[in-house]
Amino acid sequence: MEMEMTHEAKSRVFSRVLSRLENLVVKLKGKCVGIAKNIKKIAKDDPRRVIHSLKMALALTLVSLFYFVRPLYDGFGVSGMWAVLTVVVVFEFSVGATISKGINRGFATLTAGALGVGAQHLALLFGTKGEPIVLGFLVFLLAAMSTFTRFVPSIKRRYDYGVLIFILTFSLVAVSGYRVDVILVLAYQRLSTIIVGGATCMIVSVFICPVWAGEDLHNLIATNIENLANFMEGFGEDYFTIPENDMMSINSKKDGKAYLRSHKSVLASKTNEENLANFARWEPCHGQFRLHHPWKQYVKVGALSRQCAYHIETLCGFINTEVKASMEFRRKINDPCSRMSMESSKALRAMSSSIRKMGHPKQVMIHVENSKQAAQELENVLKTMLYGPELDIVIALVPDATVASILVNIITCVEKISEAVHELAKVAHFKEVVDATVSPETAKQPVKLHRGIVNPMYDDGGDRKEADYHVDVIVCDQKAQKVVIGGCTEGKVGVANSNECSNNVNNTSVVNPPPIIITCM
């Protein structure tokens, strides 16, 4: 009986152990599958990462020849390891970052090596007892001075790595020279192997599937502006839509809207933009980017875009609130606020497109002016609605009035971004862009809106005989893209006289013709 119980107990223990092993295998398999999917996603998001890994492996394989090839090893010896270390620390993802680190490391090594040799010879003048004291003092002095310079913003931004290598190389050369007699040979071997390693990194980075930091910065700025445009477009379509139920929650309309997160990447892009701009300054000419391309202007545009994104972040705080304002008030501000959102979205989208295509943003100012006109209309509405109401009514209007006020601030930011983009287009020599649907020859000609017979109409009720006048109606103020004929503007019907725009009207043979009705197209 006892033997049977013992056997059953062993069976239960064995079953529990087997079950735990199976669970462990399942969990391990799940983790492996998750890691594989994550790696696949990383490679799929940016295939350049896979290419960068292969380039790094190639550069390391090339500099390893210092050990694999006997003549190279006899010439450089153990110092060949410095070439391998140089590739490991210098090779970066972008061309600019690789060149920056390579040049910093090369010049820092050269300068520190020369000073280290000089410090060694200076210390020899003080005899055997004074040599270590002098060397120690020089190492202390230069290390302290160099470390302090790393706090200078301009040096830290561009030469921080070089200063670090300077401290390391000077200390190694000066201190090792106290025990090694062939200090010049040691300095020469380290410098030459570092130069070879750095040159290998730069050649592989530039000539094999290069990743340009300047191009990444260019696309990043354009993408950030487009993300702002996406938010403004979505906000304009959703927030000021009058709900069927006056007290319904806006939250029910906003859940799942992707545009609400589109500006988040803009808020977190400052460090990336500054790093890319710093690396871009080291890169040679490539594509449409000149040697002295105005990368600082991109940083300025990025800063203004973040300023706009901060206003948008504030605007998001009012999205998930319930509608408590009067529907009459909302209906009155609906049109100007919607136009402000949509026109600012069109302006931002035009700026993003102009940056991507490196063309002058000609259409931007039209949308900016339209948004400013809508802001002026909104101001007039607010003055009318908020003049002398009761306190409780004012409190009820505050949320929507605050949203309208933030939209006005966003319009100001969009105008500043527009000015910065125009300045970028000027200093970067962006090309003139002509609409693909219009040939250059046609674009230079006056734009005719109507050509044909116009029947005059009179307001005095007289029995004048109708006459047909052949008139060409053209755009007089083509720069502003408006039809201005006798006070008639685009989209309206007004009374005009065929003498208006006389310099641009053809086939008009009537002397002092009566007023006629002109419908602006």
Residue 390 has pLDDT above 70, yes or no: no
pLDDT (average), residues 5-22: 77
Report residue 410 as tokens. Answer: 């966003």
Q: Give the pLDDT score at 2.
A: 52
Phi, then psi, of 360 in degrees rounded to 5: -65, 130
Least confident piece of the model among 171-175, 256-260, 407-411, 486-490: 486-490
pLDDT (average), residues 157-186: 80
Give yes or no for a contact between 473 and 450, defined as CB atoms under 8 angstroms apart.
yes
Q: Give the pLDDT score at 163.
A: 93
Q: Give the pLDDT score at 483.
A: 41
Distances (CA, A) of 106 to 101, 205, 483: 8, 17, 64
pLDDT tier at 297, thresholds 50, 70, 90: very high
Torsion over CA: 253, 257, 263, 268 (sign): positive
Residue 237 has pLDDT above 60, yes or no: yes
Residue 63 has pLDDT above 50, yes or no: yes
Q: Give the pLDDT score at 375.
A: 86
Q: Which residues lie below 8 Å from residue 462, measured CB to CB, with a gap of 6+? A: none
Q: Give the pLDDT score at 396.
A: 59
pLDDT tier at 490, thresholds 50, 70, 90: very low
Question: Residue 459 and residue 343: Cα distance in Å, rounded?
Answer: 38
Question: 153-176 vs 95-124: helix axis angle to the nearest 10?
Answer: 40
SS3 call for 469: strand
Q: What is the mean pLDDT of the chain?
A: 76
pLDDT tier at 243, thresholds 50, 70, 90: low
Interior angle at CA 334, CA 330 and CA 336, nearest 5: 135
Q: Give the pLDDT score at 8.
A: 72
Q: Which residue has the tokens 């799940």?
A: 30
Among 4-18, 75-89, 97-111, the range with the most confident prediction by mean pLDDT is 97-111
pLDDT (average), residues 171-185: 71
Report residue 507 as tokens. Answer: 């086939």
pLDDT (average), residues 355-374: 88
pLDDT tier at 200, thresholds 50, 70, 90: very high
Q: Give the pLDDT score at 363.
A: 83
pLDDT tier at 184, thresholds 50, 70, 90: confident
- Residue 496's DSSP bridge partners are 516
Q: Which residue has the tokens 């025990």?
A: 179
Question: Residue 384 and residue 407: Cα distance in Å, rounded?
Answer: 19
